[in-house]
Amino acid sequence: MENNEIPKKNISCKLNPFNEIDSHYDKKIKNIFDILYKNEENKRSNKNFLRMKFFANICSMFLPHISILCIGLFFMYIDQIPWCFIILFPLGIIMLWYILKKGIKYARSKKSG
């Protein structure tokens, strides 16, 4: 301790749900892109099948969030808006935006690297 420095405290949280959710989506997106890039270099692989499988995996990852968004929109449209559906609409948008951002980030890193 020199010059009256304040010691840094090691603050850690054992349960961080956002970190777990982030790592879950990172793993899913990484696996999808890794499979695509590995098999794209293979001359014997069917390119159309790989693209269809890639889009099916991406769509299956977006499907729950799109359904949450649609449920929120539906209840906003029929003018019976309980408070939980007011929360579902922005939550669906935020989750879709987050996954899309992660996918674009990983695709750029794979292309450049």
pLDDT 10s per residue in the chain (113 long)?
Answer: 455 555 555 555 555 667 777 787 788 888 877 877 777 777 776 777 777 877 788 778 778 777 877 777 777 677 666 666 667 777 777 877 887 888 788 878 877 76
Q: What sign does the CA torsion over 21, 52, 88, 99 have?
A: positive
Is residue 92 one of the residues assigned to a domain? Answer: yes
* Residue the block writes with tokens 């769509």: 59
Please give the pLDDT value at position 84.
Answer: 67
Is residue 100 one of the residues assigned to a domain? Answer: yes
DSSP string, 7-19: PPP----S--HHH
Is residue 13 one of the residues assigned to a domain? Answer: no
Q: How many domains are contained in the chain?
A: 1
Measured CA distances, 78 to 44, 59, 90 (Å) = 52, 27, 17
Is residue 91 one of the residues assigned to a domain? Answer: yes
Is residue 12 one of the residues assigned to a domain? Answer: no
Q: Are 62 and 96 in contact (CB under 8 A)?
A: yes
Kindly report the pTM of this predicted structure: 0.56
Is residue 46 one of the residues assigned to a domain? Answer: yes
Domain that holds residue 74: 27-112
CA distance 28 to 103: 10
Please give the pLDDT value at position 93.
Answer: 79
